[in-house]
Amino acid sequence: MDLIPKPDQVVSAAGNLAHTVLYGGLADLRPMPRTLIDDGTLREVYHYRPAARVLEQGDPVLLVTPLAAPALCYDLRRGCSLVEHLVTEGRPTYLVEYGPVSFRDRNLGMEHWIEEVVPAAVRATSAHAGGRPVHVVGWSLGGLFTLLAAAADQELPIASVTVLGAPVDVSQVPLVAPLRPLLDVAHGHGLVTRAYRVLGGAPTPLVRWAYQLSSFQKLVTKPLAKATRYDDADFLAQIQAVDRFTAGMTAYPGRTFGQLYHRFVKGNALVTGVLDVGGREVALADVTVPVLVLAGATDGIAPVGAVKAVVPLLTGSPEVQFEIVPGGHLGMLTGRAARGSTWAVLDDWLGQWSGAGDEPVPPAPSDDDPSDDVPIGTSRRRTHGSGASRSLAP
């Protein structure tokens, strides 16, 4: 609102306040309808139901959720939901999430997601979509797990990989860089190590606090921003949806958190392009499918340089495309500006690497019976690219 609000701004602000008091908020938080098609240990694979009067076409898209973050990241609210966008465009859309993490899951390591969860989700998606290859889209840690899964098993029916806001060079992350020299002082026996061993992981309140700390400036200025923009219903709805997302964060399993802490935060291991996964080396150079890498222009968790560091490591990919898009860590994925930037780039990418003809998807097994056997296809389109890079940020 203006410093001296205009009459129409006062009316809008009053209406927004009344709606918030009566209905608890302004955001349309209805989830997109979906059906469970496959599950396992900390693995639930869902198929989003096609939109009314929209025919599903093209290769399926699988959205990979990062650890500790709720799947709301892909379905934040109506109007700012990547799921809603893909379904409306007629893309067969799937998602893998993990459910609540408890103390009994403390012995699960990263290999569980890289060697079991992501591969199983890709195969289930391909089978349900009639054997078509899958476009796998991973945000944050979900993107890193996706890349490592593709590198570890080149027989997976993957059409392409899209990675959003995934920091490969952790030394460039502002919150971590000043601390890394201090983390070596205890030689692996410091307070953090002792804490996650006792607690069985990183507890939910700590995960939520760390995420909020990464956007500390926004957290401090949010009350003022709301007060000065109370006439903007869409802005207030976005804040409400982001608050719900943050409140839904969960814990990290103990062993996985330990691996992330020692290998990524302390060791910055992935910057070399090779990571020990379950006792064997997995190299990003072994990714043999096209890769789209997206970085948020104002991302404090995964800055542009930390994300772009993966590009020269993907030497086995036929094409690597790098883009800078508006937004912070969550905003680049599902912010209000993402509708005209990130999603547009993703649409172009999916169109480029989808199967020839983009014919309707063959009938899938009934969502009520996920056990039907459908052969998994492995065809992939190959061309050689130059690793193009551009910026869409203002």
Per-domain boundaries in the chain: 24-358+386-391
Which pLDDT score is estimated for 101?
A: 73
Q: What is the pLDDT of residue 390?
A: 65
Query: How far is residue 367 from each of residues 51, 65, 88, 314, measured CA to CA in Å?
Result: 15, 21, 19, 36
Whether residue 274 contacts residue 281, with contact meaning beta carbons closer than 8 Å, is answered with yes
Q: What is the pLDDT of residues 66-99, one digit of tens each?
A: 987 889 999 999 999 999 999 999 999 999 998 7
CA dist., res. 285 & res. 283, Å (int): 5
Q: What is the predicted pLDDT for the residue at 386?
A: 42
Low-confidence ranges of the chain (pLDDT < 50): 177-203, 206-209, 211-214, 216-222, 224, 356-358, 363, 365-386
CATH homologous superfamily of domain 24-358+386-391? Answer: Alpha/Beta hydrolase fold, catalytic domain (3.40.50.1820)
**pLDDT computed for residue 69 by the predictor:** 84
| pLDDT of 18 | 59
To the nearest 10 degrees (0 to 180), the angle between helices 216-228 and 233-247 is 150
- Looking at residue 287, its pLDDT comes to 98
Q: Supply 150's token pair.
A: 């593709």
The answer to whether residues 47 and 94 touch, using CB atoms and an 8 Å cutoff, is yes
Q: What is the pLDDT of residue 116?
A: 96
Which amino acid belongs to residue 78? R
Distance between CA atoms of 242 and 219, rounded to whole angstroms?
A: 11
**Spatial distance between the Cα atoms of 215 and 228, rounded to a whole number of angstroms:** 20
* pLDDT (0 to 100) of residue 128: 97
Whole-model pTM: value is: 0.78
